[in-house]
Amino acid sequence: MRVPNVPKELLNNFVRGYFDGDGNVWKGLVNRKRLKPTKVLQVAFTSGCKEFLENLLIILEKEGIKGGSLFKVKNKNCNRLSFSTLDALKLYKFMYNMNCKLYLKRKRLVFDKFIKMRL
């Protein structure tokens, strides 16, 4: 399975749709025992097809979203493409542009809360 040939002007809609279906977003703190814990945001796409995620990574890199990490999920028959804070925020801007009206509110809310938490 490969990422379909999506017109560039619709690419953000395709990625957001895939994310809403087979992606997840997490915000939280790491290094909690330090005086100032680190606020992090993680975004992941999951697929049973490694080639699909490799293809998606190449497409996102062309959009300036680099640094993704691709790995097989332990004890499961699936793969995950993961992005940490800076690239996760780039994905947010890419997926939820100003013309965006269709998305899962609960997933977008995690991004919005993280952005407010950082301020």
For 63, the 3-state DSSP assignment is coil
The CA distances from residue 97 to 16, 25, 93, 102, 108, in Å, are 10, 17, 6, 11, 12
Query: What CATH class has 8-118?
Result: alpha beta
Partners of 83 in the β-ladder:
43
What is the reported pTM? Answer: 0.90
Q: Closest Cα to residue 86, out of 76, 94, 78, 98? A: 94
Q: Which ranges in the chain belong to alpha helices (H)?
A: 11-22, 50-62, 85-95, 105-118
In order along its 119 residues, the chain shows pLDDT tens digits of: 889 999 999 999 999 999 999 999 999 888 878 888 889 999 999 999 999 999 999 999 999 999 899 999 999 999 999 999 999 999 999 999 877 889 999 999 999 999 988 76
